[in-house]
A and B are shown apart, each in its own frame.
Chain A
Amino acid sequence: MMIMENIRAHLGMKYNLVGVKILKEKPVDIEKPTRKLRYCEMVRKAANGEVITAEHEDIACPNAEVTLGFVEPVYVDIQPRISPAETKVVKVGPLDKIRDPDIILAILNPRQAMEVASIMDGLEAKFAGSMAVCGEATAKPYMEKKSNVTMLCGGARTFADFRDSDLIVGGPPEFFEELSKRISALSKTCVALCGCKTSDLSPRIIESFRKIGFEKGTDYFFGKVDGTNVRIYLNKDTHGKIKYITVHIPLRGVEVKAKEPLIVKKRGNWTDVAMTFGLGEAIDLNTGRGLKEAIMDILKKVSDSKVIAR
């Protein structure tokens, strides 16, 4: 499955993504495990390539019987759990071997989880250190149709050999499809003309300009204001820190006169009317605060200076 390869390659994952199918009817032929297994053990084996199909009687952990929805709790409620308890069979395996999974699990280290959070604009995590693989990573996303992060539980680390650095992100297939899509977009939209990034402008700055109608070019922004082409370049100091903002109005085939602080520069049959000013405290590029006002002020100066087109 492309999704699995894409995500694993990008994150540098050691293990397969695990697909989980919760079946409310027992299939005709199922190959049962040779001994009782804990659900977290099944997941661990699936991450290493095995496909395991288990009925209630094959599950070795009483908590997982409840969280996975094989049985209702008897004395006190247990959460999270699949409810109502109608599960007959649970099938786990590498994602490419599980058709139409209900839940997908990714065994990650903290660095990989951080990258997922960054790509997905945040990850929600609710965990209590118990019933983790079955409840927090599987039942909770199954019931809520959204992802969750779990730091696992003592059982998983003791009986299923999860390492100290392992955690699990569980989620519905849509979550992982979106993750894969965003990973692909990352590699395709690196602002490349020939495979190299042409600027280090942050996504926040790009978004700030987009909000006011300016699209990123290579390392600058372009747009129109009242039908006039406007270009905005963020000048760096000699050490590469953005210090100034320059608003350009490129005009073709005309002579232009303008007063200071506007600069008029000839470039072949083009004339650039431009103004550079320090970012100061009035503009916050990361939030976009003050940006539109500053640009409009400059454009007003251009018009007040009576730019003469001959």
Chain B
Amino acid sequence: MSVSPEFSAMDVGNLSYRYKDFIIINPLMRGGIVPKSVTERLCDEGWLEVGYNLCHDCIEGRSSLITKPNVKEFLSEIAVFFGGDEAEHTFGCRAAQFAVMKTISEVSPDGVVLSDPNSHYSTNIAAEMCGLKVVESPHTGYPEYKVEVDSVIEKIEEIGNPALVVMTHADPYYGNLAPVKEIGKVCAEKEIPYMVNSAYTGGVMPINMKDLNADFLTLSAHKSMASIGPLGFLVTTYEWSRKVFALSKSKPDWTGRAFGKKIPNVFGCSIGGLPLVCAMNSFPYVKERVKKWDEEINKTNKFIDAMEDLGDIMLLGERPHRHHLLHFETPLFWEISKKHRRKGFFLAEEMIKRGIVGLHKGLSKHIKLSVYGLSDEEVSKVLEAFKEVAEISA
């Protein structure tokens, strides 16, 4: 079958990217913005030409063992950078969480996972896939929704030592930082396996899992490590790596084949391809930018004040805020939406008209956004746009 070189994206519908050169304020995306120099290099060097681009020089039969380019060394660097002993790349943070849950389910079948109440849904799905029951510790409720150490300890005691404690380092709802260090200390004392989901923090702020007493650190390259996705990492200690990264032992009865280099918990060979090459290229940039975390937080808190100056808008979550993910309640915009012909959609659409994308379409009572990594000029533009939209009379 020959394919015309004139094959157009239009053949499968309009595939043009509508938001090129927009300012992105979606909090899921800000930490994953790929540096321009990296995207240019990936295009120039031809990494986009084939899906299996990393596999040309694979000798050992698993992507994490490839040395040209040096994936093996890169994963060692990832482990060291986050204070762990070993790392494997995964199909996103959720796959890293799955690997942990699977391991725990083998160690403690029918075990109970204690999770913070602001966890990402993928934590619950990973547990569900592995037959583990999730129990939550309460948060403090409106308006801060904080996770407090005492309530976690109470739950640990109530359960009678769970099979795993999971804390979401920065939660996806309010951008609160959980007391991961204090809870890690409790888990270490009680010898409870401890996982920190740092999808929203690993790669934007400094993290050392040894300081947190964490046994597992799960990461998202496309959320927080300036990479395209899907890609995640699981970093662990030597105590756990032999279990979680255990090699395949299966041997089908008829052919007698074996897959001894593959790691079942990461689906054998977690291929990687373009996302992994991208993350490797971005890593030097990531290592540098985490040093500027305090500057980012100062900028974020100033932005919060400026947003609240616009009118009936208030940040939910802890104050001062210690993460870039922001969740505002916005009755100001909701009032406009009630009379606007586009109802709740007006807000995201008006922002798009002003070159700013990332608000959840249809929502006006609440918005989540981030200005992480934006220049002062860009932050001013975002604020100005919100101000203009707030002045719309429906």
Contacts and interface: CB of A to CB of B under 8 A. Distances in A.
Contact of A238 (B142, B154, B320, B365): B154
Contacts of A222: 329, 331, 365
Contacts of B360: 193-194
Interface residues of B, number: 32
Contact of B319 (A196, A236, A240, A268): A268
A73 interface: no
B331 A238 contact: no
A229 B173 contact: no
Contacts of B362: 188
B158 interface: yes
Interface stretch (A176-184, A201-209, A244-252): A244-252
A57 interface: no
Chain A contact residues (Cβ within 8 angstroms of B): what range?
20 to 34
Nearest to B368: A193
Nearest to A253: B308
A14 B137 CA distance: 42
Contacts of B331: 222, 229
A196 B121 contact: yes
Given A231-B142, A236-B138, A252-B308, A193 B366 contact: yes
Interface string A237-279: 0101000001010101000000000000001111010000000
Interface of B: 28, 121, 136-138, 141-144, 151, 154-155, 158, 172-173, 305, 308, 312, 314, 316, 319-320, 327, 329, 331, 334, 360, 362-363, 365-366, 368
Interface stretch (A23-31, A90-98, A114-122, A211-219): A211-219
Contacts, number: 59
A53 interface: no
A236 B117 CA distance: 12
Interface in A108-150: none
Contacts of B138: 236, 238
A194 B28 contact: yes
Nearest to A234: B141
A131 to B, nearest CB: 46
Given A188-B362, A268-B320, A233 B154 contact: no
A137 to B, nearest CB: 37
A196 B119 CA distance: 11
A198 B173 contact: yes
Contacts of A248: 142-143
A162 interface: no
User: Top 9 nearest A-B pairs by Cβ distance?
Assistant: A268-B319, A233-B142, A220-B142, A196-B121, A267-B319, A233-B141, A235-B141, A238-B138, A217-B329
Contacts of B314: 250, 252, 270
A218 B317 CA distance: 12
Given A252-B308, A269-B305, A272-B143, A218 B366 contact: yes
Contact of B141 (A193, A215, A238, A246): A246
From A231, A236, A268, residue with most partner B Cβ within 10 Å = A268
30 contacts: A193-B327, A193-B360, A193-B363, A193-B366, A194-B28, A194-B172, A196-B121, A198-B173, A217-B329, A217-B366, A218-B366, A222-B331, A229-B331, A231-B142, A231-B143, A233-B142, A235-B141, A238-B137, A238-B138, A238-B151, A248-B142, A248-B143, A250-B314, A267-B143, A267-B144, A267-B319, A268-B319, A268-B320, A270-B319, A272-B143
Contact of B173 (A193, A235, A270): A193
B40 to A, nearest CB: 31
Nearest to B136: A240
B224 to A, nearest CB: 16
A193 B344 CA distance: 13
Contacts of A246: 141-142
A304 to B, nearest CB: 24
Contacts of B327: 193
From A193, A246, A250, residue with most partner B Cβ within 10 Å = A193
A6 to B, nearest CB: 18
Contacts of B366: 193, 217-218
A194 B29 CA distance: 13
B300 to A, nearest CB: 13
A161 B136 CA distance: 50
Contacts of A231: 142-143
A55 to B, nearest CB: 45
B143 A250 contact: yes
B334 A215 contact: yes
Nearest to B172: A194
A269 B172 CA distance: 24
A262 to B, nearest CB: 16
A196 B172 CA distance: 11
A217 B144 contact: no
Contacts of A272: 143
A2 B291 CA distance: 53
Given A193-B173, A194-B360, A219 B142 contact: yes
From B136, B141, B173, B312, residue with most partner A Cβ within 10 Å = B141
A270 B329 CA distance: 14
B112 to A, nearest CB: 14
A295 B80 CA distance: 55
Contacts of A218: 173, 316, 366
Contacts of A269: 305
Contact of A215 (B308, B363, B365): B365
A236 B154 CA distance: 15
A198 B329 CA distance: 14
B236 to A, nearest CB: 27
Nearest to B312: A229
A267 B316 CA distance: 10
Contacts of B173: 193, 198, 218
A235 B314 CA distance: 20
Contacts of A250: 143, 314
A250 B314 CA distance: 9
A29 B193 CA distance: 76
A218 B173 CA distance: 10
B338 to A, nearest CB: 10
A222 B332 CA distance: 12
Contacts of A267: 143-144, 319
A250 B144 CA distance: 12
Contacts of A194: 28, 172, 360, 368
